[in-house]
Amino acid sequence: MIKGSCLCGGVCFETDAQLRPVIACHCSQCRKQSGHFWAATSVPRAELRLVRSVTLAWYAASDLAERGFCTGCGAFLFWQAKGSTDMSFAAGAIDGPTGLQIAAQWHEADAGDYYNGGPTEAAVLHGACLCGANRFSLAGPMGEVWGCHCRQCRKTSGHFSASFDADLAQVIWAARSVRQHVSPKGGIRSFCPTCGSGLTFESATETSVEAGVIDNPTGGRLTRHIFVAQKGDYYVLEDGLPQVD
């Protein structure tokens, strides 16, 4: 039996069906909603049981599919093509070992330029959530980006998060409609209540912006991985960057 949930527990699911190998999707829509890129397995929809769904909402980003997320914590959980009998769900939301591996990478041409280092001339960064209810700008370049593999980031992003330090007081909002989830240790995650896109994180010691929501060239570079002791078992980090347990 495979069980999974969002971060706040408002959405819980289970299945005993055979899981498809994981597919990592770098399309702009998955990048916006997850804050980095999304990794999902799938089962027949009839064999995925929603044990709890009080905070589950759906957003149709196109005519092709719907995206399910938690309105309590912003976790990006489900993707279903219209007319399909299968349901994709986030590998990062699974509790415990998955026994899976990433078998394919989709839409790599849409990957963020910060994966491998973006241009240094990014003087201003422009970002937005998937639905456009949140639009903002801030001074660039993005600089160092950290990949976080902690349980909380796995649950909310569906894979692992990528963010960069920013002074949130200097963010200029053209449109803003956010909901916030406060972790047990006081960390505040802001996300869009309409489409579920993760936007910012605040704690007593740091403030950051999700790298995947930036639209233009960033001048950023992924430089290290943290909390790798909590990462999912379905992927291996092979980029040679420093790793901190």
Q: What global pTM score does this model have? A: 0.95
Q: SS3 for 106?
A: strand
CB count within 10 Å of CB 231 equals: 24
Q: Does residue 206 surpass a pLDDT of 80?
A: yes
User: Can you give the pLDDT at residue 96?
Assistant: 93
Q: Does residue 184 surpass a pLDDT of 90?
A: no
Cα(85)–Cα(83) distance, rounded to whole angstroms? 7
Q: SS3 for 102?
A: strand
User: Can you give the pLDDT at residue 121?
Assistant: 74
Q: Which of 84-93, 110-119, 177-186 has the highest mean pLDDT?
A: 84-93
The domains found in the chain, sorted by start residue, are 2-108 (2.170.150.70), 113-244 (2.170.150.70)
Give residue-wise pLDDT tens across range 210-235: 999 999 999 999 999 999 999 999 99
Q: Does residue 10 surpass a pLDDT of 90?
A: yes
User: Can you give the pLDDT at residue 118?
Assistant: 67
Give residue-wise pLDDT tens across range 98-142: 999 999 999 999 999 998 876 677 899 999 999 999 999 999 999
User: Can you give the pLDDT at residue 55?
Assistant: 98
Q: What is the chain's mean pLDDT, rounded?
A: 95
Q: SS3 for 212?
A: helix
Q: Does residue 197 surpass a pLDDT of 80?
A: yes
Burial of 79 (0-12, 13-18, 19+ CB in 10 A): buried
Cα(98)–Cα(92) distance, rounded to whole angstroms? 9
Q: Does residue 8 surpass a pLDDT of 90?
A: yes
Q: Is the dihedral of CA 6, 228, 23, 2 positive or negative?
A: negative
Q: Does residue 75 surpass a pLDDT of 70?
A: yes
Q: How confident is the model at residue 183 (pLDDT cuts 50, 70, 90)?
A: confident
